[in-house]
Structure 1
Amino acid sequence: MTLSILVLTLVTLQRLGELVLAHRNTARLKARGAEEVGAGHYPVVVAMHAAWLAGLWLLAWDKPAQVGWLLVFLVLQALRIWVIASLGERWTTRIIILPDAPLVRRGPYRHLSHPNYVVVVGEIAVLPLAFGLPEFAVLFTILNAIVLTIRIRAEAQALRGAPM
């Protein structure tokens, strides 16, 4: 197995595992009275991420991986784990608001409002660059910026009423 196939396989498995975790956390939060906000744009988020990963499989499976960019991607994965661990049961891929729950202020959330989105922006650009696909990185960075603009607005509006 080449390094490129190994990396793409691991990223795919990671994303699938995160979807399982997100689904579980969403169900638990909803059972506690949480409500989803901005569900209308969620299929676009999923489609964009699926297209990014499918495009990488199509274009990068046989390309040599550039170790420097892969190391940057590994750092981003460590940050991703920190984000997920900091949110704990409140981490999900959807915008789920738990009434009367204070905003999370630990981990990277002490420093940034949206650290997960910072990580995602980095991942969307860095992994294609690791495979020598700068045009792909630019295209999906632009698509991701459009999606995140919609998502962050919806999330910010939903969180305005959250207790501090």
Structure 2
Amino acid sequence: MTTLTAFVVVVVLVALERLAELVVSNRNAAWSLAHGGRETGRGHYPVMVLLHTGFLVAMLVEAFVRSPVVSEGFAWAMVVVVVVAQCLRWWCILTLGERWNTRVIVVPGLQLVRSGPYRFFPHPNYVAVVVEGIALPLVHASWITALVFTAANAALLTVRIRVENEALAHA
């Protein structure tokens, strides 16, 4: 298997993981809304979906167009980082349980979760997103995608975290 083929497989696996997240997210969003949850921040959500979808496509396009030489050792190191980021993401999902979804929906009256990775810092899922945004494209030396996504994601996370913090403060 070529390194490019292996990279495509890794990106497809991440895309399938994202689809699994959406299934869990939709189920949990329905639970939150059924329990009186209020959604905020709808305006940035389509931008987030577009950015994250574009991210998966862009790194593949970059890998095919640029055809970079990839160090196998570095590629494997980045795969390990991506797997660690996925583990952190799913630790967040499992810790929040029915409360976790990809939108900002807060159920009034529920205590903030301060266990799992949330005992260390308030937005651990975004740490996973940032780490993955750098490491996944670098599996096949798609550094342009890593840079552009990281910058765009930083702008998006500035909005997203402000919206979440405001929603949680008024829950």
Note whether the superposition's TM-score is higher than 0.5.
Answer: yes
Gap regions ≥5 residues in structure 1: none
Shift of 1:160: 1.0
Q: Report the Cα offset of residue 135 of structure 1.
A: 1.9
Q: Distance in 2 between matches of 1:24 and 1:117?
A: 21
- Write the mapping of 1:62-101 to structure 2, written as runs, cut at 5 A: 66-101=75-110
CA distance in 1, matches of 2:98, 2:6: 33
- Output the TM-score relative to the length of structure 1: 0.93
For the residues of structure 2 that align with 1:147 and 1:40, how far apart are their CA atoms?
11
| Paired residue type of 1:136 | T
1:48 to 32, 47, 51: 51
Matched, 1:16 2:16: no
Q: How many residues align?
A: 162
2:137 corresponds in structure 1 to: 128
Aligned residue for 2:156, secondary structure, equals: helix
**Which residues of 2 match residues 81-160 of structure 1 at below 5 A?**
81-160=90-169
Distance in 2 (alpha carbons) for counterparts of 1:60 and 1:24:
35
When the two chains are superposed, the root-mean-square deviation of aligned CA atoms in Å is: 1.5
Instruction: State the percentage of identical aligned residues.
Output: 46
Measured in 1, the distance between the counterparts of 2:20 and 2:111 equals 27
Q: Distance in 1 between matches of 2:32 and 2:163?
A: 18
Aligned to 2:60: 57
One-letter amino acid of the counterpart of residue 160, structure 1: A
Question: 3-state DSSP class of the match of 1:116?
Answer: helix
Structure 1 position 56, deviation (Å)? 2.1
How far apart are 1:17 and its partner, in Å?
1.1
Give the alignment partner of residue 25 of structure 1, picking from 20, 23, 28.
Answer: 28
Distance, in Å, in 2 between the alignment partners of 1:140 and 1:84 is 23
Q: Deviations over 1:109-156 (max 9, x none)?
A: 011100001110111111111110112111110000000001111111
Per the TM alignment, residue 54 of structure 1 is displaced from its structure 2 partner at its CA by 1.3
- Residues of 2 paired with 1:72 and 1:45: CA distance? 22
Residue 58 of structure 1: how far off its partner (Å)? 2.1
The gaps in structure 2 that reach 5 residues or longer are none
Distance 1:54 1:72 in 2: 20
